[in-house]
Amino acid sequence: MSAEAAPALVALRGASKSFSGARALKAVDLDLRRGEIHALCGENGAGKSTLIRILGGATRPDSGTIAIDGLPVRLPDPAAALRRGIAVIHQELALVDDLTVAENLALGDEPRRGPWIRRRAMVESARAKLGELGFAIDPRAPLGSLPIGARQQVEIARALRRDVRLLVLDEPTAALSRAEAGRLFDVLRDLRARGIAILYVSHHLDEVFALSDRITVLRDGARIGSWPASETTPGEVVARMVGQAVDVRDRPARRADGPAKLRIEGLRGGALRGLDLEVAAGEVVGLTGLAGAGHEDLASFLFGDARPTAGRVLWDGRPFRPRHPAEAARLGVAMVPADRRGQGLIPSQGVLENLTIASYADLARGGWIRRGAQKALARQWSERFEVASAGLSQKVLTLSGGNQQKVLLARWAARDPDLFVLNEPTRGIDVKTREAIHRWIDGLAEAGRCVLLITSDAQEMTRLADRCLILRGGEVARTLEPPALTEHAVVAAVVEG
């Protein structure tokens, strides 16, 4: 690449931003060049999303300038950024669930004849756009009915509908399966070849190195530096992000060969078509598959969120049929949902309430919450999970994405349940914390808890699972156990069955 010689398309100089006294960004400079894929790396809370929001006009910096083609510009709102060819896909998706895919794609820019929307043209152009990007999505489907990965593809397609010169993606692959991510990378490479500048954030360094031309590292809101990807290594990048080296452990040798604590027999309902599964105390069982293969349904059934149509679940030998999540929680099940924003967090409340909501029953005496105990519990677990917040009363959505995820994990960890259903537990979490969470899961297994791990991250699967079930069409297609349980085997099994 002759990227060095190209002049900057977008140049950011001295961008600073504080939130009620806490400095999220400190005088950051950034150059983005045509035809270059630029990766932004940093720990949770390093300021990546804030930087991106500034570029997209969603947040105004306290100071600093932005120049496009050398001319200073002001980006007071997202519409202004869009007019100048900067499109941003934020960490949390921004689509309308009640509209169809085609309507979402056309929103604000509908094909029309006079006052009438040309529905056929709208659907056709949506189909063409999705096809061009290789996304297999029915344009007539209501958005809310799609799995989160497909919803994100819609958002990407939407960002690309107009003339884009700089495409910014905040953790775009966090919700995608490996196959979907691969397709996205092809799209991004294709856009790069057309001269579009791309800035993206990812916590997956293997991906960063496979895809990007240049890497910028942020730490504590300051830019540590930028390097061509070919002249640095993942180890160096991690050390710059964290300020120290992180040692990633291998899977500890666990042997849980006691009797099955959780036994599932012939379970049907949703996408499931007769699933059998046993989990012993102290065992981590992984579940994965393409979207809609049935692993999400299993999580719903175990947590009482939906009811199976046939088959049975035995817990300690006794039938286990929770009627609703409250009952499942009382019986000792915890579920961390994959959709953090929609199903996990209560946006109007602070860290304190979001962290302790599942523990109110234990914290209360006669219906009255003991404040001291509540605060102590929240403090203890936010320290244990290293939640970076300005205080327990900080509104949960103002935390960085990774810290929001930590609050959700801490919410259930604080209850110490017997069965954990963890749905993408490290989505959006940085390398260092990811390792800490993996060790926490090791600890759960050591303490004799049952863990069902649903993850589309093959590395995480091999690091944690004692057994990995690959689902396809509602049935177990393959079961992998060490030593056959390798990243390559998981990926291959998901794709081929």
Ligand X SMILES: Nc1ncnc2c1ncn2[C@@H]1O[C@H](COP(=O)(O)OP(=O)(O)OP(=O)(O)O)[C@@H](O)[C@H]1O
The whole-angstrom separation of Cα 389 and Cα 394 is 7
Asked if residues 477 and 470 have their Cβ atoms less than 8 Å apart, the reply is yes
Which residue(s) pair with 112 in the sheet? 117
Contact pattern for another protein over residues 322 through 351, marking x by CB under 8 A: --xxx-xxx----x-x----xxxxxxxx--
402 near ligand X, judged by CB under 6 A: yes
First to last CA, the chain: 38
Q: How far is the CB of 358 from another protein (least distance, A)?
A: 5
Nearer to Mg ion, 270 or 401 (CB): 401
- Of the candidate residues 15, 101, 148, 388, the single one contacting ligand X (CB under 6 A): 388
Binds 495, which of ligand X, another protein, Mg ion, none (CB < 5 to 8 A, cut-off by type)?
A: none
45 near ligand X, judged by CB under 6 A: yes
294 near Mg ion, judged by CB under 5 A: no
The whole-angstrom separation of Cα 272 and Cα 266 is 9
State the DSSP code for 142.
B
49 near ligand X, judged by CB under 6 A: yes
The whole-angstrom separation of Cα 378 and Cα 398 is 17
Phi first, then psi: give them for residue 251, nearest 5 degrees.
-65, 125
282 near another protein, judged by CB under 8 A: no
204 near ligand X, judged by CB under 6 A: no
Q: Residue 116: how many CB atoms within 10 A of its CB?
A: 9
- Of the candidate residues 79, 128, 245, 361, the single one contacting another protein (CB under 8 A): 361
Stretch that binds Mg ion, among 151-159, 237-245, 399-407, 483-491 (CB under 5 A): 399-407
The whole-angstrom separation of Cα 427 and Cα 490 is 18
382 near ligand X, judged by CB under 6 A: no
Q: Interface residues for another protein in 405-444 (CB under 8 A)?
A: 411
The continuous run of DSSP H or E covering 280 comes out as strand 272-280
What tokens were used for 291?
């979207």
Q: Residue 178: how many CB atoms within 10 A of its CB?
A: 18
Nearer to ligand X, 405 or 462 (CB): 405
Strands of the 63-68 sheet, one edge to the other? 22-33, 8-19, 63-68, 71-73
49 near Mg ion, judged by CB under 5 A: yes
List helix spans (H) across 281-430: 295-302, 325-330, 351-356, 360-363, 371-384, 401-413
The continuous run of DSSP H or E covering 454 comes out as strand 450-454
State the helix-helix crossing angle for 401-413 and 371-384, rounded to 10 degrees: 120
Q: Residue 1: how many CB atoms within 10 A of its CB?
A: 15
Nearer to another protein, 291 or 397 (CB): 397
Q: Under rule CB under 5 A, how many of the chain's residues touch Mg ion?
A: 3
- Of the candidate residues 304, 401, 425, 474, the single one contacting Mg ion (CB under 5 A): 401
397 near another protein, judged by CB under 8 A: yes
Binds 44, which of another protein, Mg ion, ligand X, none (CB < 5 to 8 A, cut-off by type)?
A: ligand X
Binds 88, which of Mg ion, another protein, ligand X, none (CB < 5 to 8 A, cut-off by type)?
A: none
Q: Which residue is nearest to Mg ion (CB)?
A: 49
Asked if residues 11 and 55 have their Cβ atoms less than 8 Å apart, the reply is no
162 near another protein, judged by CB under 8 A: no
46 near ligand X, judged by CB under 6 A: yes
Stretch that binds another protein, among 211-219, 228-236, 252-260, 359-367 (CB under 8 A): 359-367
Stretch that binds ligand X, among 144-152, 327-335, 399-407, 485-493 (CB under 6 A): 399-407
Stretch that binds Mg ion, among 27-35, 48-56, 299-307, 326-334 (CB under 5 A): 48-56
Binds 45, which of Mg ion, ligand X, another protein, none (CB < 5 to 8 A, cut-off by type)?
A: ligand X
| Parallel, antiparallel or unpaired: strands 467-472 and 284-289 | parallel
The whole-angstrom separation of Cα 493 and Cα 497 is 5
398 near ligand X, judged by CB under 6 A: yes
Q: How far is the CB of 382 from another protein (least distance, A)?
A: 17
The whole-angstrom separation of Cα 101 and Cα 97 is 9
- Of the candidate residues 47, 270, 294, 304, the single one contacting ligand X (CB under 6 A): 47
Q: Under rule CB under 8 A, how many of the chain's residues touch another protein?
A: 36
Q: Residue 43: how many CB atoms within 10 A of its CB?
A: 24
147 near another protein, judged by CB under 8 A: no
In SS3 terms, 7-26 reads as CEEEEEEEEEEEECCEEEEE
**Quick one: which of 283, 424, 298, 400 has its CA closest to 351?**
400
Chain mean position to CA 137:
20
What tokens were used for 373?
């105990």
152 near ligand X, judged by CB under 6 A: no
Q: Residue 389: how many CB atoms within 10 A of its CB?
A: 22
The continuous run of DSSP H or E covering 472 comes out as strand 467-472
Binds 345, which of ligand X, Mg ion, another protein, none (CB < 5 to 8 A, cut-off by type)?
A: another protein
Nearer to another protein, 237 or 336 (CB): 336
Q: Which residues bind Mg ion (CB under 5 A)?
A: 49, 91, 401
Q: Which residues bind another protein (CB under 8 A)?
A: 18, 20-21, 60, 303, 305, 324-326, 328-330, 335, 337, 342-349, 353, 357-358, 360-361, 364, 367-369, 371, 395, 397-398, 411
Q: Which residues bind ligand X (CB under 6 A)?
A: 19, 24, 42, 44-50, 91, 388, 398-403, 428, 430
